[in-house]
Amino acid sequence: MRKPYVFITRKISREALKGLNESFVVNMWEYEEQPVPRDILLEEAAKADALLTMLSDKVDLELLDAARNLKVIANLAVGYDNIDVAAAIERGVTVCNTPDILTDTTADLAFALLMATARRIVEAAEIVKAGKWTGWSPLLLAGHDIHHKTIGIVGMGKIGETVAKRATGFDMEILYHNRSRNTEAEERLGARYTSFEELITTADFIVCLTPLTDETAGMFNKEAFQKMKQSAIFINVSRGAVVDEDALFEALVKGEIAGAGLDVFKQEPIGSDHPLLTLPNVVALPHIGSASAETRQGMIMLCIENIARVLYGGQPKTIVNP
């Protein structure tokens, strides 16, 4: 009998594959930093019973139509905007993601990015390393306070709520906007539900943690930035396409908002000549929200477990139900 074929779209440790190797034929793209080229992905998908994909792999109609044997896609991310989930389900393909396991790690990064942007940590560290620190002075690199300010979280799901928990330690007032009320966060963390409009006009820190959907694409546009306080700091750890980046650049240049901390971009990797990267009040990170060694290892093992479960005819641990 033919052994099921599993294709992994990025290099991961051979050690992690032990659980799959016994029963399945496993192949992987042997590069850690380069995504698998589209033509190879399509060829592999055509043979695969299971794919372990990255958020940079587009799983669209073309791929799904080529993937006649495909039973499961395990995406190494909680976000699954790179996958046409409806089309996959229609073809009987199970789609899995990695929720929960990355929640605390991503919330840590979101809060670290907020702090780095508010307190100008990256700028300050660069000045010291470049030998440009000429001495202490009263307003040298004076940033914005975080404690006792108002944080507004757009997308109060698992990570949003965990960022809110961190904000309580800084005595912050917590506002949130979500598709539905999160009464647990209201009771446990004292968070207050507001409209999107109220949140963006009153918060000192606006943190986006929604998934990327048709509804959220471009939600942070020119109008939204114009409504924010001039002292507001915008943090995005969701997906780049929730932001109109030209509008964000304009808002920063015109002083309509005070700064931005961005872990994600519309085009990844962002070009080194992108206008946003020229601004000192932008802290830009290379999509590292969940990137701790422990969490990434946990995400990989969860994907492998999901693949094995589906190929053995069972239910995955974490399934995407849009």
Ligand X SMILES: NC(=O)c1ccc[n+]([C@@H]2O[C@H](COP(=O)([O-])OP(=O)(O)OC[C@H]3O[C@@H](n4cnc5c(N)ncnc54)[C@H](O)[C@@H]3O)[C@@H](O)[C@H]2O)c1
Q: Is 208:244 a contact under the CB 8 Å cutoff?
A: no
In the region spanning residues 83 to 142, those forming contacts with ligand X, defined by CB under 6 A, are 99, 102-103, 106
Residue 55 binds which entry of ligand X, ligand DGY, none, CB below 5-8 Å type-dependent = ligand DGY
Residue 200 interacting with ligand X (CB under 6 A): no
For residues 152-173, one letter each, b for 16 or more C-beta atoms within 10 angstroms of the residue's C-beta and e for the rest, the string is: bbbbbbbbbbbbbbbbeeeebb
Q: Which is nearer to ligand DGY, 218 or 298 (CB)?
A: 298
Residue 211 interacting with ligand X (CB under 6 A): yes
Choose the stretch contacting ligand X; rule: CB under 6 A; options: 15-23, 206-214, 253-261, 267-275.
206-214
| Binding track, positions 95-114, relative to ligand DGY; x by CB under 6 A | -------x------------
Largest CA distance in the chain: 75
Closest distance to ligand DGY from the beta carbon of 184 (Å): 22
Residue 10 binds which entry of ligand DGY, ligand X, none, CB below 5-8 Å type-dependent = none
In the region spanning residues 16 to 75, those forming contacts with ligand DGY, defined by CB under 6 A, are 55
Closest distance to ligand DGY from the beta carbon of 158 (Å): 11
- Taking the C-alpha atoms of residue 57 and residue 51, their distance in angstroms, rounded to an integer, is 11
Which residue, chain included where needed, has tokens 């060829």? 43
- Taking the C-alpha atoms of residue 188 and residue 161, their distance in angstroms, rounded to an integer, is 10
Residue 290 interacting with ligand DGY (CB under 6 A): yes
Residue 4 interacting with ligand X (CB under 6 A): no
Residue 158 interacting with ligand X (CB under 6 A): yes
The full DSSP string for 162-198 is: HHHHHHHTTT-EEEEE-SS--HHHHHHH--EE--HHH
> What's the Cα-to-Cα distance from 177 to each of 12, 37, 196, 198, 248, rounded to whole Å?
37, 38, 6, 9, 20
The full DSSP string for 299-320 is: HHHHHHHHHHHHHTTS--SSB-
**Catalytic one of 62, 90, 223, 268:** 268
**Beta carbons within 8 Å of 33's beta carbon, 6+ residues apart:** none
Residue 143 interacting with ligand X (CB under 6 A): no
Q: Which is nearer to ligand DGY, 102 or 232 (CB)?
A: 102
Task: Tell which residue, 108, 114, 209, 208, has the closest CA to residue 158.
Answer: 209
Residue 257 binds which entry of ligand DGY, ligand X, none, CB below 5-8 Å type-dependent = none
Kindly give the interhelix angle for 103-118 and 158-168, rounded to the nearest 10 degrees. Answer: 50
**Catalytic one of 166, 177, 239, 296:** 239
Residue 212 interacting with ligand DGY (CB under 6 A): no
How far, rounded to the nearest angstrom, does the alpha carbon of residue 215 sit from its chain's CA centroid? 17
Choose the stretch contacting ligand X; rule: CB under 6 A; options: 59-67, 86-94, 111-119, 149-157.
149-157
Identity at 208, one-letter amino acid code: C
- Establish whether 239 is a catalytic residue: yes
- Establish whether 223 is a catalytic residue: no
Residue 241 interacting with ligand DGY (CB under 6 A): no
Choose the stretch contacting ligand DGY; rule: CB under 6 A; options: 77-85, 163-171, 212-220, 308-316.
77-85
- Taking the C-alpha atoms of residue 124 and residue 106, their distance in angstroms, rounded to an integer, is 24
Residue 177 interacting with ligand X (CB under 6 A): yes
For residue 297, give the 3-state DSSP assignment.
helix
Q: Summarize as ranges the residues that interact with ligand X (CB under 6 A).
A: 78-79, 99, 102-103, 106, 154-160, 177-179, 209-213, 215-216, 237-239, 263-264, 287, 289-290
Tell me which residues touch ligand DGY (CB under 6 A).
Answer: 55, 77-79, 102, 289-290
State the catalytic residues. Answer: 239, 268, 287
